[in-house]
Every structure is written in C-alpha cells, then in structure tokens.
Amino acid sequence: MEKELKDLVSDPDNAQSMIEALEDHAAKAVEQDIRAHKKVWSNKSETDQEIATEQAKTWATRHAGHRVTCPSCSSSALLQGNPSGVVSTDVNEGEVIQRQTMLPTSFECIACGLRISGLSKLSACGLGDAFTSRSVYTPAEYFDLYTEDDLEQARADAAPVYEEDFNE
C-alpha cells in the first residue's frame, strides 16, 4: 500500500507503542509473576482469601481507574492508563459526558499484591486492551458558569461595608 502508519490512524505514536508491546518477548516473563502470586494466593486460608477479596472489591470501587479481574486471584483490581486520541463530548439530559480512550500503563491488585507496569507486560497477560474513561459534569461545571448561590455570594462579598459612625 506504500502508506505510513500516520496515514492510517489518528494517533500513530500510541499505535506504534501497541505494536511494539505485542512484539516484546521479554514482557512475557510477566506470566511467571502471575504464577508466583497465584501460588501464594492458593496457600492462604479461605477466610484470608475472602477478607482480601472483599477489601479489594471496596478499594477498587473507591479509587479511580478501570476495574478488571486480577489474573492471579480473580479479585477486583484496577488498571491505570494514559489518554489516547481525542475526547468525545456529548450533551444529554442536563449532563455533559466526556469519553476518553485510555491505553493501560499499570495494574494493581491489593488482594494478592500483584502489580504490573508497562503496556507490553499488560498485553502479554491479557490486560493491554484500551479502555474508556468517562467523566460526567453538570452544564455549570463544564462551562464554568456561575450558579445562583455563586451570584448571591458574590453580591454579598461586593456589598459595601460601612462602619458605624455613632453620630446621632
């Protein structure tokens, strides 16, 4: 076709890093880390596993990131990523919704302690797929508008303050 990557995709740098991640054979060593964490996990008592799984579920809900299943212990875990491509913005029923495609950069599971960094390692263990980050704003937040409360506060702050002169 005699075309370059930049002619075919909108974000050639991230596309190139994804291609390199698939070809990185050194990253496949991450499977040994997963097996080691899986073995430690299987040696824990059932009670300890249940407690750790519940803690991971709560932790993954409260922290920012993309929730996934841990390849080692099957608990809830989080992927973090970097933005890729353009942000799409939709206005729908009083909400402004922004979506951003993210390329994963790191993984963490607090139940078994497994941590993986780098797209090539994440791709090697099946966690390298892009995900979407979603942010929801009110129109006032998105457009940085003043609300009625803000206006009342500004009026109160701007009102002249007179000192009492006690001249009767």
DSSP letters spanning 62-126: HSSSEEEE-TTT--EEEEEEEE-SPPEEEEETTEEEEEEEEEEEEEE-TTT--EEESHHHHHHTT
CA dist 26 and 39 (Å) reads 22
Q: What is the pLDDT of residues 52-76, one digit of tens each?
A: 999 999 999 878 889 999 999 999 9
| Cα atoms found within 13 Å of the Cα of residue 97, Cβ hemisphere only | 10
pLDDT of amino acid 99 = 94
Domain limits, the chain: 9-153
CA dist 77 and 112 (Å) reads 10
**Is the model's pLDDT at 32 over the cut of 70?**
yes
User: Which region among 27-31, 85-89, 125-129, 140-144 has the lowest average model confidence (pLDDT)?
Assistant: 27-31
Q: Taking the model in full, what pTM does it have?
A: 0.70
Q: What is the pLDDT of residues 81-90, one digit of tens each?
A: 999 889 999 9
pLDDT of amino acid 85 = 85
Average pLDDT over residues 24-45: 86
pLDDT of amino acid 94 = 86
